[in-house]
């Protein structure tokens, strides 16, 4: 059933905005979630947190006139229950049924689609280059992006198409002109916003090595080769080719202070090497990733901040709330970074998570081989990103 197919409850159902629910979870409040999506959807991704208790009871369990006692026993009567679905229709209906029975219930506005619309920004206070650096994060998928602003200009790195207007508005509010939009690689988990920003008058930049994968729109954008530099106010953005996750994977060194590593190195893990070349090509890609980390990343000063394009539940935020960390701290915390090549490859290839949902269609869209509307683009990127190797096999004790 679609959201509009559910009858309107006969009782008033309170809603909670996604951002408000996020704040409760961040503040450590106890939250009980009743997720009414189908089990497969729930298992793929759902809202989690240290103080979150979540139960999956599909909506059809509540359609009969008499709700099964076994179902009702799983819904607490002594605490507030927040009902969740995909778009908000089923959750409002289920919440109404439970309110009629005397439960204290609300439902999540917009469902998991609403949850996926949360896009937060924190200032990276450890950044010591010129200007100010923001890190964007999307809690639903762990996507990270960056906005560097200095002396009247700004650049965004790894923008998401769904938040194109957000970057433009944030630049305007900060009194700067958004001049560049950089992609680190051909993403497999979300639709890139570089082309949309370029159409809005921002200079779109993609790695030259990524364009070699068959990007159909490369002639309309600027391509960045290894060692190229771009000026953002008085700050410098330097291109550093860092292949491994993909052949075109490229990092950007922001005024010598932070390396935006895309999907090459995260604060809790390293890239998975199989999304471009498949299982057969993964060992060679892992060896290339090892070479990249040893020769292109670990040769930087150990106080260089590392900021990836994703974070997972295993990641610990820095004191400023950003998912960044000094390179030296990552070396100390992640044994894989100091392993020899054979051990590194074995570790990275072991126990890789499922590939991102819809990754083939997302890659085709980001290459320009397929075209999708905004609604389809948003739907394709729902769910976890899974662009990292297994965190458990890479982190220390």
Domain boundaries along the sequence of the chain: 3-115, 120-393
The answer for residues whose C-beta is within 8 angstroms of residue 318's C-beta and 6 or more apart is 126, 324, 325
Burial of 259 (0-12, 13-18, 19+ CB in 10 A): buried
Which residues does 362 contact at the CB level (< 8 Å), separation at least 6?
187, 188, 189, 190, 191, 356, 380, 381
Q: pLDDT (tens digit, 9 = 90+) per residue, 215-261? A: 999 999 999 999 999 999 999 999 999 999 999 999 999 999 999 99
Closest CA to 316 of 219, 396, 198: 396
CATH topology of domain 120-393: Metallo-beta-lactamase; Chain A (3.60.15)
pLDDT value at residue 78? 93
Does residue 30 sit in helix, strand or coil?
Answer: coil
Tell me, which fold does domain 3-115 have in CATH?
Answer: Oxidized Rhodanese; domain 1 (3.40.250)
- Distance of alpha carbon 227 from alpha carbon 222, whole angstroms: 14
pLDDT value, residue 394 = 54
Instruction: Say what the pTM is.
Output: 0.91
Output the CA torsion sign for 275, 277, 281, 285.
negative
Nearest to residue 247, comparing CAs of 217, 271, 277, 225?
Answer: 277
Token code pair at residue 104: 């204290």
Element of type H or E holding 282: helix 278-292
Tell me the C-alpha distance between 197 and 179, whole Å.
Answer: 10
Model confidence over 305-338: pLDDT tens digits? Answer: 999 999 988 899 999 999 999 999 999 999 999 9
Q: Where are the beta strands (DSSP E) in the chain?
A: 14-16, 31-35, 52-56, 81-84, 105-108, 120-123, 132-138, 143-150, 153-157, 177-182, 203-207, 222-224, 229-232, 235-241, 250-254, 258-262, 305-308, 324-326
Check if the beta carbon of residue 386 is closer than 8 Å to that of residue 189. Answer: yes
Tokens 């990092």 belong to 251
| CA-wise closest residue to 178 among 168, 190, 165 | 168
Question: How far apart (Å, rounded) are the C-alpha atoms in residues 380 and 2?
Answer: 17
Supply the DSSP string of 286-306, one letter for each residue.
Answer: HHHHHHHIIIIITTS-TT-EE
Nearest one of 66, 80, 73, 77 to 29, comparing CA atoms: 80
Assigned token pair, 316: 């610990």
pLDDT mean for each 10 residues of the chain (397 residues): 66 94 94 96 91 96 91 94 95 94 95 96 97 96 96 98 97 98 95 97 97 94 98 98 95 98 94 88 95 97 97 91 97 94 93 82 96 94 77 47
Given the residues 13, 85, 186, 275, the one annotated as active site: 85
Q: Are strands 120-123 and 31-35 parallel, antiparallel or unpaired?
A: unpaired
Instruction: Rounding to the nearest 10 degrees, give the CA dihedral for residues 14, 19, 24, 27.
Output: -160
The CA distance from 61 to 385, in Å, is 30
Is 85 known to be catalytic?
yes
Residue with tokens 């701290």: 329
Q: What pLDDT, on a 0 to 100 scale, did the predictor assign at position 376?
A: 94
CA 359 to chain centre: 14
Q: Is the dihedral of CA 393, 145, 159, 26 positive or negative?
A: positive
Hey, what's the torsion of the CAs at 283, 336, 246, 187, to 10 degrees?
Answer: 130
- Count of beta carbons in the 10 Å neighbourhood of residue 67: 17
Q: What tokens does 295 get?
A: 């020769």
pLDDT at 396: 46
Confidence (pLDDT) at 354: 81
């Amino acid at each position: 059933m679609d959201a509009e197919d559910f009858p309107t409850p006969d009782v008033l159902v309170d809603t909670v905005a996604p951002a408000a629910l996020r704040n409760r979870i961040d503040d450590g409040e106890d939250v009980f979630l009743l997720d009414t999506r189908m089990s497969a959807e729930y298992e793929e991704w759902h809202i989690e947190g240290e103080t979150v208790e979540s139960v999956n009871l599909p909506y059809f369990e509540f359609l009969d006139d008499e709700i099964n006692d076994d179902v009702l026993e799983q819904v607490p009567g002594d605490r507030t229950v927040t009902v969740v679905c995909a778009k908000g229709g089923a959750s409002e209906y289920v919440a109404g049924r439970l309110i009629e029975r005397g439960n204290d219930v609300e439902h999540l506005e917009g469902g998991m689609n609403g949850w996926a619309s949360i896009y937060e920004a924190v200032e990276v206070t450890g950044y010591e280059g010129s200007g100010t650096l923001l890190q964007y994060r999307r809690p639903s998928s762990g996507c990270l992006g960056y906005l560097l602003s200095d002396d009247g200009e700004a650049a965004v790195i790894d923008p998401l198409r769904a938040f194109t207007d957000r970057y433009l508005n944030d630049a305007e509010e900060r009194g700067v002109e958004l001049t560049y939009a950089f992609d680190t690689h051909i993403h497999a988990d979300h639709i890139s916003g570089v082309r949309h920003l370029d159409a809005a008058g921002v200079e779109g930049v993609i790695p030259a090595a990524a364009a070699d994968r068959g990007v159909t729109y490369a002639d309309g954008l600027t391509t960045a080769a290894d060692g190229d530099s771009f000026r953002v106010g008085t700050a410098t953005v330097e291109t550093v080719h860092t292949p491994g996750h993909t052949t075109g994977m490229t990092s950007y060194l922001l005024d010598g202070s932070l390396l935006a590593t895309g999907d090459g190195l995260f604060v809790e893990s390293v890239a998975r090497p199989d999304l471009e070349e498949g299982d057969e090509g993964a060992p060679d890609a892992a060896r290339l990733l090892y070479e990249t980390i040893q020769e292109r990343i670990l040769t930087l000063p150990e106080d260089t901040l590392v900021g990836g394009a994703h974070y997972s539940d295993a990641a610990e935020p820095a004191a400023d709330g950003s998912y960044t960390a000094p390179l030296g701290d990552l070396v100390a915390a992640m044994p894989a970074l100091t392993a020899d090549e054979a051990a590194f490859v074995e570790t990275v290839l072991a126990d890789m998570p499922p590939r991102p949902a819809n990754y083939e269609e997302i890659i085709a869209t980001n290459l320009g081989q397929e075209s999708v509307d905004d609604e389809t683009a948003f739907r394709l990127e729902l769910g976890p990103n899974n662009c990292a190797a297994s965190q458990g096999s890479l982190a220390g004790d």
